[in-house]
Amino acid sequence: MNRQTIMLIAMVVGLGVFFSDTIMQLFSKGSAALPSLSKPSAPKGIDDSAIRALLDEARADSLAFGPDQWSSDFFQDRTKLFKSWFKVTGISKGPSGYMAIVNEEIIKEGHTMLGFRVTKIQDDHVHMIKNKDKIILELIQ
Domain ranges of the chain: 1-30, 78-138
Using one digit for the tens of pLDDT, what is the confidence trace for 94-110? 888 899 999 999 999 99
Global pTM exceeds 0.85: no
Q: Residue 126 in contact with residue 100, Cβ under 8 Å?
A: yes
Among residues 111, 141, 106, the alpha carbon closest in space to that of 124 is found at: 141
What tens digit of pLDDT does each residue of 14-24 get? 988 888 888 77
